[in-house]
Amino acid sequence: MKTIGIIGGMSPESTVLYYQIINRETNRRLGGNRSAKILLDSVDFEEIVRLQKSGDWAAAGNVLAQSARKLEAGGADFLLLATNTMHKVAPAIEQAAGIPLLHVVDATAAAIKRQGLSAVGLLGTRFTMSDGFYTERMSSQGVQTITPTAAEQDEIHRIIFDELCLNRIRPESARYFYDVIGRLKKEGAQGVILGCTEICLLVNETDSPLPVFDSTAIHALAAVDAALAE
């Protein structure tokens, strides 16, 4: 079994989900009391949020690059960045580390294509929905992304940071997300990406107007595949 190096803490709520999913799936596949080999470096989310707000992505990339080097030195075989938004600085991490980074967009695009879909809605932080690093990588793999309006992006971003990152789950916020998903369906979306690792705390497959692609679960399961690969 390979050792998974997780760069976490962005937010702690989503890092907990990654840890649970990876270990439960490892145990399901291997049985007994088996669990995954994981090294976790959890950064201070407040520092990352401050750098996001100031637009200093180079400094944010440097923080995560240092984390990657620490995990590599500790014996990790590959890296998992337990956040969607910070894949914006994935190149800085890849340049700093001598071990592979399992990219969330690659894992999610593969899951979408396995279902035979080509156009999906994208929900996430404002950075993920509008900055291009996510949508362009999806497009390069043959998946078109349809994003909410600017006003919807602002409200989704607010809910993520002011509620979900603090584990505040509000029914009215869930209804808002489902309304946005319904509108994306009318625009031609065949499914919807939960492109922020906290959104799965609020949105579920049962209540969604579209099939859900939970990037947190998809990414975590892909890490198990990589850890157990021959």
- Selecting among 196, 197, 200, 216, the annotated active-site residue is 196
What torsion do the CA atoms of 197, 123, 62, 70 make, to the nearest 10 degrees?
Answer: 20
Active site residue 196: yes
Which residue from 83, 198, 193, 91 is spatially nearest to 143, judged by alpha carbons?
193
- Selecting among 15, 26, 83, 216, the annotated active-site residue is 83
Which residue from 137, 133, 42 is spatially nearest to 82, judged by alpha carbons?
42
Active site residue 85: no
Distance separating alpha carbons of residues 228 and 36, to the nearest angstrom: 9
Q: Phi, psi at residue 197, to the nearest 5°?
A: -70, -10
With residues binned 3-state (H G I as helix, E B as strand, rest as coil), the percentages for the chain, rounded to 5, are 55, 15, 30
Q: Which two tokens stand for residue 207?
A: 């209540």
Contact 152, 125 (CB under 8 A): no
- What lies within 8 Å, CB to CB, of 7 at 6+ separation is 41, 43, 64, 67, 68, 71, 79, 80, 81, 82, 86, 93
Residue type at 111 in one-letter notation: A
Q: Which two tokens stand for residue 193?
A: 């990406």
Distance separating alpha carbons of residues 162 and 190, to the nearest angstrom: 29
Which residues are annotated as catalytic? Answer: 83, 196
